[in-house]
Every structure is written in C-alpha cells, then in structure tokens.
Amino acid sequence: MSITCWKRPRFTLMLDSFATMHSARQGPKGIARRCVVHLLAGLCLLLMSPEASAVEVKTIQHYAGQLLTPLELYSADILWTHESNWNIHSHNGSHWGICQGRSDYMRRANYKQQVQWCIKYAYNRYGSIALALEHWRKYGWH
C-alpha cells in the first residue's frame, strides 16, 4: 500500500483543521503546536505503514543471497520486487508474502521461512527461479 500526497488520510485532515484553528489564535505557540501535531501524525502513519523498510529488505535479500546463486538471486529480485517489493506482510486477496504464495502458512511465516518456501515453489514448479522469471516474462504470471 502506498500513501500518496494528494489523498491524505481523514485523521491527518482532522488534525490539520484542529491545529489550524488553534494556531491562528495562539500565535507562535500555536504554530509550534501545529508543527508538533503534524510530526506526530506523520510518525504514526509511518509506523503503521505495511511497507518493508530498507533495512528489512536488505536483510531479506542478504539471506536469499546466501541460499541462491547470483543468477538465481537476480531472477528472484526481479520476481519478488514485482510481487511484493520484498515485503513479507504484502498480500493480494488470498496470496501472501514475498512471492505471493497462496498459502495460509505464508501469512504467518517469518522472512526466512518465506524465502525458503518461495525457492522450493519455484524449483518444484519451474525447475529454478531463473525459469520462473522466464515464464513470467513470457506469460505475465508465474
């Protein structure tokens, strides 16, 4: 899920109108209060974001790199960036995790379990992750 600047959540709109009312009446203190309110609202939204952080992504990619050859990691990077942007909490309907597996297990699994599952799936279904990427490029799904 991505949050765009033009469509702000109702909560921040409510805080904005609240802060604006008070800042107009209270001068510099009101303006400072408004800044604090906006910073706190932004922090809350950031912490609630389901997107994977850069550190989490690097950790997951490093782990996958320990299990895969460079070619396989390159292929996995293309596929898994497309599927979930390496986010273990990503979901689309009944599909969950890094490679969007259709399994309740994927919803509960940690990143190591998900990477292992994704690798096993690609090998069992296509023979390798590189072949899964080839299939995806040819048919638009894998």
**Do residues 107 and 96 make contact, with C-beta atoms less than 8 angstroms apart?**
yes
- pLDDT value for 53: 87
Domain ranges, ordered by start, for the chain: 1-49, 54-139
Could you count the other beta carbons within 10 Å of the beta carbon of residue 33? Answer: 15
Nearest by Cα to 98 from 129, 69, 71, 70: 129
∠ CA(78), CA(83), CA(88), 5° rounding? 110
Helix or strand or coil: residue 43?
helix
DSSP per-residue letters across 17-37: HHHHHHHHHHHHHHHHHHHHH
- pLDDT value for 127: 97
∠ CA(26), CA(28), CA(31), 5° rounding? 80
CA distance 135 to 72: 14
CA distance 87 to 56: 8
Question: In the predicted model, what is the mean pLDDT of the chain?
Answer: 79
- pLDDT value for 57: 94
Among 5-9, 37-41, 62-66, 103-107, where is mean pLDDT lowest?
5-9
Higher-pLDDT residue of 85 and 44 is 85
What residues does 60 pair with on adjacent strands?
A: none
CA distance 117 to 122: 9
Q: Is a pLDDT exceeding 90 seen at residue 11? A: no
Q: pLDDT above 90 covers what percent of the chain?
A: 58
pLDDT grade, residue 87 (50/70/90)?
Answer: very high
- pLDDT value for 14: 47
